[in-house]
A and B are shown apart, each in its own frame.
Chain A
Amino acid sequence: MASLSRTLRFAALIRPSAVLSVVPRAATVGCLHTLTSRESRLSNTTLLSAITKATSGVRSYSAKEPLTLDLIQQRVMLVLKLYDKVNPDKLAVDSHFMQDLGLDSLDHVEVIMAMEDEFGFEIPDGDAEKLLRPADIIRYVADKEDIYE
């Protein structure tokens, strides 16, 4: 009995169908077997499905995560919230950096640089000086990344 359970435990590590062929169908052993094989089958399939999900699917060339307007907004607002000179209570999508949030032009330069770091592309000076609200930045990034909704 002990050796049987030992073989069963070892066999449960291998694929369940292999276990079925090896272990004789005694009632108690059968119960134990279905329990362990169910949970190992479960872990096998979830592992397998995780692998297939990760490797198959859409081709990702220079893989950037898919952007949506909502995601851009979340990221822009997060960067602004993390900026220590911004008061998060006053921050809204259409708050003006200088008039509502009390930032100055040097802070504005720092904010735009932070946005460049976040989204991975450079914003030229001419465009940067026009981006005076988070809403402007969101629209600008969406334009640059060709996202329309």
Chain B
Amino acid sequence: MTRDYSLVIMFMLRTEALKLYRNILRQLNNLPDKEQRKEIKDWARSDFEAHRHHEDENTIRSLLYQGQKQLEELEKSIRRANS
């Protein structure tokens, strides 16, 4: 039964990770320079790929939290660059 529960948790975390990736890509659309956009997109993708293998819930959660913080930083710097 604990095994079933963890599958649900993994599914939820996976959905969260995909949401984070989608939000990063959406935020990048606000960046006018196409070269930079591609660079940051590839960098984000490689980060996600590097952590693909994790199984432990806490590791994944802390990585997602870090990712969310990085997204907020990205948002701020894009806003600053565009203003």
Contact = CB atoms under 8 A, between A and B. Distances in A.
A111 to B, nearest CB: 11
B45 A106 contact: yes
A109 B18 contact: yes
A113 B25 contact: yes
Contact of A110 (B14, B15, B25, B49): B25
Interface in B29-77: 29, 45, 48-49
A70 interface: no
A129 B25 CA distance: 16
Contacts of A125: 18-19, 22
Interface string A72-94: 00000000000000000000000
- Chain A interface: which size bin? 10 to 19
A22 B14 CA distance: 83
A106 B21 contact: yes
A109 B25 contact: yes
Contacts of A117: 29
A10 B11 CA distance: 79
Interface in A4-37: none
A125 B49 CA distance: 21
A129 B45 CA distance: 19
Interface string A109-126: 110110001000000010
Nearest to A108: B18
Q: Which residue, of B15, B25, B48, has the highest number of chain A Cβ atoms within 10 A?
A: B25
Nearest to B49: A106
A106 B48 CA distance: 9
B74 to A, nearest CB: 16
Contacts of B19: 125
Given A109-B22, A109-B25, A112-B22, 5 more contacts: A105-B14, A110-B25, A125-B18, A125-B22, A129-B15
Pairs A-B, 10 closest by C-beta atoms: A113-B25, A109-B22, A109-B21, A105-B18, A109-B18, A106-B21, A106-B48, A125-B19, A106-B45, A125-B22
